Amino acid sequence: MSCTTVLVGKGASNDGTTMIARTDDGHFDVKKFIVKEPKDQPKKYKSVISHVEIELPDHPMRYTACPSVDPKDGIWAASGINASNVGMTATETISSNPRVLSADPLVEYKKAKSRREKDTIGGIGEEDIVTLVLPYIRSAREGVLRLASLLERYGTYESNGIAFNDENEVWWMETIGGHHWIAKKVPDDVVVMNPNQFGMDSFDLDDALTNQKAHMCSKDLKEFISDYHLDTNQNGVFNPRDIFGSHDDMDHIYNTPRAWFMGRYLCPFSHSWDGENAEFKPESDNLPWSLVPDRKVAVEDVKYLLSGHYQGTDFDPYKSHDTGKRGMYRSIGINRTGVTTICQIRSDVPDEIKGVEWLCFGSTTFSAFIPFYTNVPRLPRYVSKTGLDVSTADFFWGSRLIGTLADTCFSDCVQHIERYHEKTLTKGRRILLEYDKRMKETGDFSLAQKANEKLGKMAEEETAFTLNKVMAEASRNMKNGFKLSDN
């Protein structure tokens, strides 16, 4: 499942928070946003796709999740924040290469061909990972270690990147083949941009195999690289992307342009991105995995990155005139996104309200991001009770309707979309500020539930208002329109 990930270290953010964010780009998956209580967490987990069965630890924590509404293909919890204020998003589908996949094959489910044979059970994957890990970890580092133990025991049937954050740290983990893995603490002063490729472009293997201060990996990774002649680096440089990732022609259409767009926004002055002599171009294979941004990054910046469609460039599919390059690259804000979240862990508030999850359903180019406190027993009906049928009563479907209609007449609707984003971000922040202050003063953290209801109501009202506007514009632009004066 293709996605785009953005990670923000606490020193790179405007308010000292850590952020992990990802677009969950499924196949128009219908999603909801819920709280999972410990009593509802299974004792034994069984995957629908791979059929693997896993005994789960006792004493799970409460956590938020964005599962699929239809459980036929599994849970697909996507992302969340638990009661210990640890965030997780899983997974970013990443690329690999035949050298790696032949040396450590993916663990795929295979149905028996006859009654005399047994099914071959597969490993774990995106369907499973949040449910298996998030309820049991109390730090971002613990998240890496728990998932690592599961990968080494059960394997995986796909190549994935997984992010964890707590109040102080952000960790990024990438799988290598069926059982191997690598993880790195994101430096505090950088923003990471990861678009469906094996991301890490530097790594301290010695630290990972000894002190593990900021790097971790499979215990046998050094031998694995040597035994299978995987190292393609020159002059003693260790670049994991070159060893474990890909540099395919398809990357230059599907992946690298997204990293270029994000880097261009984050560092417009310290690096050159446009023109014949640009330092980085949309199809460059050496685009950095992380950058120190030219200015501090806020939630609104992360939202802008994940809503990107190459605005301001000749590649924008909504360009009013044909540039010869219009729509040639895969946008970040894509039509089939189910859910996008920004898991933000704050440090200037009491523990009870450190976790805030910014929720967006549908195509990020058109949809709003609404913040919600995560340490609550339930979430508002508007986000948690999504049905499978189209309905204006759900935030998911309201968002999808706005995007579908506005896409058909972008130039006429863009002002309504921009106002929608501005109003929801402003009103959302205002409610957070109000209730942060009230809860700090009173110590009554149950007020977070009331704040969330207010946020849900605001989202419902603003979504309905914007849907009315874009419906009117789309109606005026219908191709069968005709007036007597047209004769």
- What residues are labeled active site? 3
Check if the beta carbon of residue 402 is closer than 8 Å to that of residue 463: yes
Check if the beta carbon of residue 263 is closer than 8 Å to that of residue 287: yes
Separation CA 147–CA 421 (nearest Å) = 36
Separation CA 14–CA 347 (nearest Å) = 12
Separation CA 428–CA 431 (nearest Å) = 5
DSSP 62: P
Q: Half-sphere exposure of 172 toward its Cβ, with a 13 Å CA cutoff?
A: 30
Strands (E), 141-289: 160-165, 170-176, 180-185, 191-194, 215-217
Cis peptide before 386, with omega less than 30 degrees from 0? no
- To 10 degrees, what angle do helices 395-408 and 410-442 make? 150
Separation CA 348–CA 287 (nearest Å) = 34
Cα–Cα separations (whole angstroms), residue 21 to 6, 115, 193, 195, 330 = 5, 46, 10, 12, 19
- To 10 degrees, what angle do helices 256-266 and 299-306 make? 150
Q: Determine the residue type at 72.
A: K
User: Which tokens sit at 267?
Assistant: 């560092």
Separation CA 207–CA 456 (nearest Å) = 45
Check if the beta carbon of residue 218 is closer than 8 Å to that of residue 175: no
Q: DSSP string spanning 116-131? A: TS--B---B-TTTHHH
418 burial level (CB within 10 Å; 0-12, 13-18, 19+): exposed
The SS3 assignment for 408 reads: helix
User: Which tokens sit at 347?
Assistant: 């440090």
